[in-house]
Amino acid sequence: MKLSDFKEGALGGVPIALGYLSVSFAYGIMAAGGGIDPLSAVLISMTNLTSAGQLAGTQLIIDGATYFQIAVTTLVINLRYMLMSLSLSQRIDPKMSTGERLLVSYGITDEIFAVAYQREKAPNTPYMLGLISLPYVGWTLGTLLGATAGNILPERLCSALGIAIYGMFVAIVIPQCRKSHPCLVVVAVAAALSCLLKYVPVLSSVPTGWAIIICTVAASVLGAVLYPEEVDEV
């Protein structure tokens, strides 16, 4: 294992780890608030390592949803990783073995993907392991702290931190909407549908998990029909 590549990766992971620490702290508070015990919350973070996906999944667990609903929601929300994994497969060291690919793919997140993709040299296994290591620790530790110490924090602070994870979503969506008009349309349609499914009497009986799937699929398909050529790089 080349240490220099590992080090370079680990260095790139520091800001990601700090961001994850605070967001997973908010996740831990949210999970504990919904009655999930700290050990379960940490296990979810360690085995999932996703923000939006595990947040939605945890909400469904709290609501007592079926395994099928949980599986489909997780699939839909995390579908983007498929694209990132695909892009990364064109970019990584082609000599990477199947075993190494199986290992490294565990750590593909929005931020890790973005940093790895922007590396000048083709990312190899030591680099990827370095890049993943600190964010993984940050994500796990933040969850543990949020789920255990979250309830000794003043109520005001918990309330304020509750919005942190959504703030991160806004930070991912807005720049893309500024760059791309089609994306703005898709995002607006998804938000409007989501409001309809939450507030219109009959429609609001659709469980949250399905509502998110319906909004996502409808808005994305609409985007693909209206603006199929606009997206070539993601």
Among 5, 13, 74, 131, binds another protein (CB under 8 A): 74
Looking only at residues 145 through 164 of this chain, which bind another protein when binding is defined by CB under 8 A?
Answer: 155-157, 159-164
CA–CA dist 98, 127 (Å, integer): 16
Helices and strands of the chain, counted as H and E runs:
12, 0
Binding range to another protein, per CB under 8 A, among 3-11, 52-60, 130-138, 144-152 = 52-60
| Dist CA 20 CA 205 (whole Å) | 34
Q: Which residues contact 48 (CB under 8 A, 6 or more apart)?
A: 54, 57
Site for another protein in 5-34 (CB under 8 A): 15, 18-19, 22-23, 26
Find the binder of another protein among 10, 111, 135, 141 (CB under 8 A). 111
Contact between 3 and another protein per CB under 8 A: no
Give yes or no for residue 198 binding another protein (CB under 8 A): yes
With CA atoms as reference, report the closest residue to 195 among 176, 209, 213, 211.
Answer: 211
Contact between residue 20 and residue 139 where contact means Cβ atoms under 8 Å apart: yes
Size of the site for another protein (CB under 8 A): 109
Nearest approach, Cβ of 162 to another protein (angstroms)? 4
Q: Is 201 helix (H, G, I), strand (E, B) or coil?
A: coil
Using the contact rule CB under 8 A, the part of the chain among 5-13, 68-76, 118-126, 139-147 near another protein is 68-76
Rule CB under 8 A: which of 175-194 touch another protein? 175-178, 182-183, 186-191, 193-194
Minimum Å gap between C-beta 123 and another protein is: 11
Q: How far is CA 26 from CA 19, 59, 127, 168, in A?
A: 11, 14, 29, 11
- Other Cβ atoms less than 10 A from the Cβ of 7: the count is 13
We find the least distance from the C-beta atom of residue 67 to another protein, in angstroms, to be 5
3/200 with CB nearer another protein: 200
Q: List the beta strands (DSSP E) in the chain.
A: none
Stretch touching another protein by CB under 8 A, among 3-11, 98-106, 115-123, 134-142: 98-106
